[in-house]
Amino acid sequence: MRFLRTNNMDILHTSLDVLLPLVSIIFFFLFYPFYVLIKLVMFLYKQFLFENVAGKVVLITGASSGIGEHLAYEYAKKGAYLALVARREDRLDIVAETSRQLGSGDVIIIPGDVAEVEDCKEFIDETIRHFGKLDHLINNAGVTQTVVFEDYFHIQAANPIMDINFWGSTYITYFAIPHLRKSKGKVIVITSGAANIALPVASVYSASKAALLRFFETLRIELNPDIKITIVFPGVVATDMTTPRCIEHYGSDFIFTEPVSRCAKGIFNGICRGETYIEEPSWMKWIYVMKNVCPEIVEYVLNYIYIRSLKPFFKRD
């Protein structure tokens, strides 16, 4: 009996090995053009469905600088109420005051660390106590680290990257879900281009961002249609985080660096259009296409860049 079952499974998998490639090719030739047309129509349709965020409550983690700070300003200009979270209270005070001046009717700051589960619970509880609801959760808090994996002096030094970048977003989302379900709200998670492209000298950072991508794609299915989830892929943005040793001599003039205010504006517009994925700058999506279509070429180019340009900055001391 077991032999027959194993034999049937072998036949099934052999059949799928032959049939699925044929079906996929037929799909791409016959149906994919219609799929692209539908996507184009939906894109044009969304241009006229810009969400009005005036009076909506938005919680932003990592709001003391960078993308989080400038997203706060974009929401403030449109009259949203803000709950700003970060570890640096002095910086949060400055961002909060600027947000009020830009048009936000009510701003609170909640200092704390997203890597601490109790802090994450307090972020949500304090927001609900003050505003009575939550409409948008912006999971932006994150840190970067540029190091060749084998050069870690202690492998445990990689733990904070995952704790902040992945678990920080996971903890706070867990506590936010009941409130977002009531408001039919949104979760916006800031990942990175490194979630889709293997980034040399940033293996653990890339892994933490890839974990975010897969986690929130799964969560999107579980929470649909009550809560919408937008996943953002920023490129190299001029923030406090974008000064690894390999490019620090370029500073903010690094050729692919995007001004943080421009990046935040593009992300905000995508959120309000209801996009499920946002690449900022938008040309990055074509790199992802190249990676999926011809991964060997992209890997070769990245390896060349690493050997020629990056490796000299990361020699063992």
The answer to whether 256 touches 214, Cβ cutoff 8 Å, is no
Report residue 131: phi and psi, to 5°. Answer: -100, -25
Quote the CA–CA distance of 50 and 59 in Å, as a whole number. Answer: 20
> What does 270-290 look like in DSSP terms, one character per residue?
HHHHT-SEEEESTTHHHHHHH
Helix (H, G, I), strand (E, B) or coil at 168: helix
Q: Which amino acid would we find at residue 117?
A: V
Quote the CA–CA distance of 269 and 232 in Å, as a whole number. Answer: 12
Position of tokens 């409130």? 179
Report residue 272: phi and psi, to 5°. Answer: -70, -20
Measuring CA to CA, how many Å separate 83 from each of 89, 92, 221?
A: 13, 10, 27
| Residue among 42, 41, 46, 80 nearest 274 (CA) | 46
User: Any idea which residues carry the catalytic annotation?
Assistant: 205
Burial 174-208 (b: 16+ CB within 10 A, else e): ebbbebbeeeebbbbbbbbbbbbbbbbbbbbbbbb
